[in-house]
Structure 1
Amino acid sequence: MTQARKWISFLILSMTGGIVFQVGYIRYVFLEDTYNALNLSAQDYGNIISVYGIAATIGYFIGGWFADKFSPKMLVAFAMIGTGIIDILIAMAPGYAAILILHVVMAFLGMGLYWSALVKLIGMLGDSHEQGRLFGYLEGVRGVVSTIVGFAGAWIVATAASSVVGVLWLIRIYGVCAILLGLAVWLIVKEDPNSPAVQARSTVTLHQLVLAAKNPYTWLIGFSIACIYAGYTCLGYFSPLLQHQFGLSAAFIGVIGVVRTYVFQFVAGPISGVVADKGAKSTPRFLRWMFIATIIILGVFLVMPRNESFMWIAVALMFLLTFAIFACRGVYWALPGEMEIPEDERGGVIGLASGIAYLPDAFLPSLAAWWIGDPAASPAIPEHGGGYVTMFIFLIVLALIGIGLTTVMMRRRTRELALVPSEAGN
């Protein structure tokens, strides 16, 4: 493969990562506009997203099997084209049951077929000395593409006849882009059947999962990340809070949603990596700092009056909370390596810990929708935001649990390291 073909293939594959999940996670930017556009209630949409989360988690576990059995290139192309078709069908607002089924299929395509196959395709573009650079560039390009399409989407929604019309057109455009990228993968990307990335197995075996279940770090890592991911899952619900209770105009909501969802993706990650390594000198310690920051920020939200006078303070606090969450996302998968989990067990630990870590996506959207109800209606407790109080307290409790889990992780690791010299002496 020529260098030009290699980097063109890499660019196309990276761009797919910025498009494939746009509709599945559109709520992070256009929550209220999306469920209104699809003729759904907030609770119905929350239920659909929870089912999507369950299907995505299952897809993660079976994705490795598909990547081992079939051509990664064809899987990525099929998943992109299929996702594009589903996006277009969703934009027809076919009703609750149909949208639910379409989201389940979309989750299967994204996590069951696309993700593991993409990892293999990226891996085969370079030798063992280029893997870190390739996957680092992948995240960077994904972040840039997501940001560009996010701002373009905010402009489309803001300039449309209504936000409802704008969101439907945006979903259609995402669908067309996914189809075009799928065709580009099929026609341009070339896979090397002799690449070590193709020969390596992606499937997590039952034996690996059993070993992982016996490893205490699996549960400490999994539930620590779950406490973080719950905050990420709830970030989309800050848009209606800012709009309806702090008076932020609808025109700014889309822009703020893009900044919160995509800009912080490639800004907070690199910073957190440096701070965790050079400042905290420990990923669990860094996560504990972020949990403490989260508690402070949410505590201010709890006591702060909800009116326009505090609008920009609320926006600043939301951005600080977003930074803390994305900073954690940038480093938390360094935990298995930092805890020196053996290579032959690491796949099982990451697989099982991932299933635990992303559990909030399976229930929290539905639960948060139930807490908050219709954010445009008068809240149960106007001066405190009604169901938002419950959500903030829930996240504070999870942050406290996260502090406990990371503390246990640090102490366990300290004891293990303390035993190394004595064992060497014997």
Structure 2
Amino acid sequence: MNQRHLSNTAALAVVSLIFFTWGGLTSLNDVLIPHLKAVFEMGYAQTMLIQSTFFGAYFLMSLPSGAVVSRIGYKASIVVGLVVAAAGAAMFSPAARMPSYPLFLTALFVLASGITLLQVAANPYISLLGRPETAHSRLTLAQALNSLGTTLFPWLIGPLILAGAVLGADELAAMSMAEQMAYRATQAQSVQAPYLLLAGGLLLLAVFVVTMRIPSLREATDRGDERHHTFGEVLRHRHLRWGVAAIFVYVGAEVSIGSFLINYISGPDTGGLTEASAARYLAFYWGGAMVGRFIGAGLLKTFDARRLLALFAVIASLLLVATMATADQLAMWSVIAIGLFNSIMFPTIFTIAIERLGPLTSKASSLLIMGIVGGAVVPWLQGKLADHIGIQPSFVIPLVCYAFIIWYGLRGARLGGNLPVPASDTPQAAGLTH
């Protein structure tokens, strides 16, 4: 039997398909937020528990996921992650039948646990599939496929979830208790078919990955990591330590903006769209990130990654100021355009933070994925503020996040001394065989 592995390029294509899938699943939270807010009649802070539960899984499950990757390797971890995510998507069906907000949150936690394992395995895998000096560009390109998923899923699936007419508080109050329960059940059940289809797709993708012979990078990173290094040793490196904080605030800002986007641009002063129409505009926000990542993959081959990161954060900050200070179409398109400049931030921060860490890479990756918990904290903070002062001025929260990213690009990402010699400077050193 021929046991040859796929080439680096083919393996990159396979794993990029995983990036596409988890991007789409994550972006559907932005559709669930206005939908479940209406179904269960909640305030913004309570509704943002959707993101707190989803991204909280990254914090709780990153270290266990790192241990799984160390024990069974990258490919097997990707398969397990897909199966766990499929189980979470399937749990939406009983949650919708009841309907039960706590069960929805439980399903989201399971789904996110699977995606966490995918992130811990796939991000360093992509960065090690080739020459170290092109790692920024390679991961940015893979993240562009992630953004394609975040663009297409709200566009295609969002209107199906939000298709039903949302009744106002006065209309609901005029109904009997039985009619209200029937209405909420009907609204909740609109998520059943989309998420069952997604569960089936995830299982098919797991079968596909099992049959593909992608190279193993386990030996050079995880085995050395298990024997010699601790998380405390990893955190001694300032570019990694501040990188975890940068991932926290970046994901928090990106998720917070996306979480509020449908409610924001369906407001009378900032778009006046229906929620179903606004879901399609959400695709422009994530689509901007996709376009920016394709462009950024080229720019990062020419320009310094740290300075480009700071520049994109400056532009995102200026767009947020415009969003907060204007109204109507200008306010709407300013916030949507931020997606274009979010584009390179996650992959650039990630690859800068693991730069020259060699056998520390696996543990560093787990810490960085833990930083994604910013998506659980920052939207909730903005939700609390929005409940008191309104959505538009509450965007000051992500504005502070971008200010930190500017600092990280200019100062915090500088490499310190005493870095380990990378074990993965070549495909052979990383355990790649063809």
TM-score range, shorter chain: 0.7 to 0.9
More relative contact order, 1 or 2 (CA 8 Å, 6+ apart): 2
Partners of 1:9 and 1:189 within 8 A in 2: no
Cα distance in 2 for partners of 1:187, 1:408 equals 43
Range with bigger deviation, 216-225 or 22-31: 22-31
Match of 1:169 in 2: 190
Cα distance in 2 for partners of 1:283, 1:9 equals 25
Q: Are 1:271 and 2:295 an aligned pair? A: yes
1:360 pairs, out of 374, 385, 402, with: 374
1:346 pairs, out of 348, 357, 361, with: 361
Computed over aligned residues only, the root mean square deviation of the Cα atoms, in angstroms, reads 4.1
Give the superposition deviation at 1:151: 1.9
Match of 1:110 in 2: 115
Cα distance in 2 for partners of 1:162, 1:59 equals 35
Give the superposition deviation at 1:182: 0.4
After superposition, the Cα gap between the structure-2 partners of 1:50 and 1:85, relative to the gap in structure 1 and judged at 3 Å, is same
After superposition, the Cα gap between the structure-2 partners of 1:90 and 1:139, relative to the gap in structure 1 and judged at 3 Å, is farther
After superposition, the Cα gap between the structure-2 partners of 1:93 and 1:255, relative to the gap in structure 1 and judged at 3 Å, is farther
Give the superposition deviation at 1:268: 0.9
Cα distance in 2 for partners of 1:322, 1:185 equals 30
Give the superposition deviation at 1:157: 4.2
Cα distance in 1 for partners of 2:98, 2:292 equals 36
Segments of 5+ residues of structure 2 without an aligned counterpart are: 168-183, 418-434
After superposition, the Cα gap between the structure-2 partners of 1:30 and 1:317, relative to the gap in structure 1 and judged at 3 Å, is farther
Deviations 1:74-109 (A, max 9, x none): 514532431332232333353233333333222223
Match of 1:299 in 2: 321
Q: Pairwise mapping of residues 153-232 of structure 1 onto structure 2 (< 5 A)?
A: 153-157=157-161, 159-160=163-164, 168-183=189-204, 185-186=206-207, 189-190=210-211, 192=213, 195-197=215-217, 199=219, 202=222, 205=226, 207-232=229-254
Give the superposition deviation at 1:323: 1.3
**SS of structure 2 residue aligned to 1:249:** coil
Cα distance in 1 for partners of 2:271, 2:305 equals 38
Give the superposition deviation at 1:269: 0.9
Match of 2:430 in 1: none
Cα distance in 2 for partners of 1:328, 1:107 equals 21
Deviations 1:366-391 (A, max 9, x none): 22222223xxxxxx6xxxxx333553
Q: Give aligned-pair identity as a percent.
A: 11
Cα distance in 2 for partners of 1:59, 1:22 equals 20
Partners of 1:43 and 1:370 within 8 A in 2: yes
1:55 pairs, out of 51, 54, 57, with: 57
Match of 2:175 in 1: none
**SS of structure 1 residue aligned to 2:211:** coil
Q: Are 1:147 and 2:165 an aligned pair? A: no
Cα distance in 1 for partners of 2:58, 2:192 equals 20
Match of 2:402 in 1: 399
Cα distance in 2 for partners of 1:207, 1:408 equals 26
Match of 2:278 in 1: 253
Match of 1:96 in 2: 101
Partners of 2:382 and 2:395 within 8 A in 1: no
Cα distance in 2 for partners of 1:49, 1:319 equals 19
Q: How many positions carry a matched residue from both structures? A: 388
Segments of 5+ residues of structure 1 without an aligned counterpart are: 305-309, 374-379, 381-385, 417-426
Give the superposition deviation at 1:24: 5.0
Cα distance in 2 for partners of 1:285, 1:9 equals 30
Partners of 2:85 and 2:112 within 8 A in 1: no
Cα distance in 2 for partners of 1:342, 1:188 equals 28
Task: Specify the code of the residue in structure 2 equivalent to 1:321.
Answer: I
TM-score between both structures, scaled by the size of structure 1: 0.74
Partners of 1:298 and 1:392 within 8 A in 2: yes
Q: Pairwise mapping of residues 283-294 of structure 1 onto structure 2 (< 5 A)?
A: 283-294=305-316
After superposition, the Cα gap between the structure-2 partners of 1:213 and 1:72, relative to the gap in structure 1 and judged at 3 Å, is closer
After superposition, the Cα gap between the structure-2 partners of 1:160 and 1:11, relative to the gap in structure 1 and judged at 3 Å, is farther
